[in-house]
Chains A and B, each alone.
Chain A
Amino acid sequence: GEDVEQSLFLSVREGDSSVINCTYTDSSSTYLYWYKQEPGAGLQLLTYIFSNMDMKQDQRLTVLLNKKDKHLSLRIADTQTGDSAIYFCAETLSGGYQKVTFGTGTKLQVIP
C-alpha cells in the first residue's frame, strides 16, 4: 500500500545545509513532490521530480531520488531563518486518478 515516511524534526544552524529525508513504499510512484507549509498557511510547492530521474536542482534546492531504495531527499543550501517550516514529501501513483499521498512532515528549525 501507499506509505510515505519522514523524520519528524530537524534543527540546523543558519548558513548550513539542511537535508530532509523521505522513504516511500509503493514502487509505482510516478512523481515525487516537496511542499513547504508555514504556520497557519497552505502548502507551497517547492519542487517535484519524475520517478525516472535521479536528481533535480533548482536554485538552493536539490532533490535526490534513489529509486532502488525508495528514498527521496531534499537538500536546502545556505539555510535561512525563513526556511523554518514543515516540509512534506508526497507522491502520486501511476494509473487511475490523481491522488497525492503525503508523509507526516518534517519540522525544520533554523537556529540564527
Chain B
Amino acid sequence: DAGVTQSPTHLIKTRGQQVTLRCSPISGHKSVSWYQQVLGQGPQFIFQYYEKEERGRGNFPDRFSARQFPNYSSELNVNALLLGDSALYLCASSFQNTIYFGEGSWLTVV
C-alpha cells in the first residue's frame, strides 16, 4: 500500500517567489496536516484539513495557505518566500489517532 506521498522532494527558490507543495494521503485517510521542520528542530504544526475544511492553524503568517481537494490530496502554498522559510515540509495523513508522515519536501530559499 502506498504511504503518504509528497512532491517535489527537493526544490530551490529565490526570495520573494512563491512555492506550491503537494501531498497525497494514504488511501482512506480524510485528514491531512502540514508541518515545517527547520534543521535541528522538531516539526512545527502549520495546518490541519479534514474533509476539505481547515480545522486548525499554527502560528504561521498569512503567507502560508493550504487547501484540500475532493480526493483528499492537499497543497501547501507559501508566498513571498523568505530565507527563513528554508526547511523540510512534512505532510501527515491520519485516520483516527494513527498519524503517518511522508518523506517531505526540502525547500531551500536563496
Contacts and interface: CB of A to CB of B under 8 A. Distances in A.
Interface of A: 4, 30-31, 33, 35, 41-45, 48, 50, 88, 90, 92, 96-105
Q: Which 10 A-B pairs have the closest CB atoms?
A: A97-B56, A102-B42, A97-B55, A43-B101, A42-B103, A42-B104, A99-B45, A31-B97, A97-B48, A42-B101
A99 B48 contact: yes
A101 B41 CA distance: 12
B31 interface: yes
Contact of A100 (B45, B50, B88): B45
Nearest to B44: A102
> In the complex, which range does the number of interface residues on chain B fall in?
20 to 34
Contact of A45 (B48, B101, B104): B101
**Chain B contact residues: helix, strand, loop or mixed:** strand
A30 B44 CA distance: 18
Nearest to A88: B42
B35 to A, nearest CB: 7
